[in-house]
Amino acid sequence: MLMTKERRPAIRTLRGWAIGALQEASAIRECEEHGWMRDRGDPHARDRALLSARHEPPLGVSPDEAVAAVRGVLDTIGDTCPECPPEE
């Protein structure tokens, strides 16, 4: 009997896609030293990322899901790199 496996590659990579969309819009940036993503705190860049998520969601993902994924990434990314010394 055939196993029916759930195929959901789009969902598995949705967070990765959202990170890419945010980087493309310059809403987040990778710490050059440690590789952590940092929120740049730019509301216009966020808007660009959310707009592109709504208008160009990845294949098999609804606009609402794409926007939610971008918001979810923003929620989990801080505006500082956890390994960089705090600015004084």
Residue 21 or 37 having the CB closest to Zn ion: 37
Pair 70, 22: CB distance under 8 Å: yes
Residue nearest to Zn ion (CB): 81
Confirm or reject binding of residue 83 to Zn ion (CB under 5 A): yes
Give bridge partners of residue 59 from the DSSP assignment: none
Cβ contacts of 80 within 8 Å, gap of 6 or more = 38, 86
Confirm or reject binding of residue 30 to Zn ion (CB under 5 A): no
Confirm or reject binding of residue 81 to Zn ion (CB under 5 A): yes
Q: Nearest CA to 19 among 63, 53, 47?
A: 53
Q: How far is the CB of 80 from Zn ion (least distance, A)?
A: 8
Confirm or reject binding of residue 77 to Zn ion (CB under 5 A): no
Confirm or reject binding of residue 34 to Zn ion (CB under 5 A): yes
Q: What angle do CA 16, 44, 32 make, to 5 degrees?
A: 50
List residues binding Zn ion (CB under 5 A). 31, 33-34, 81, 83-84
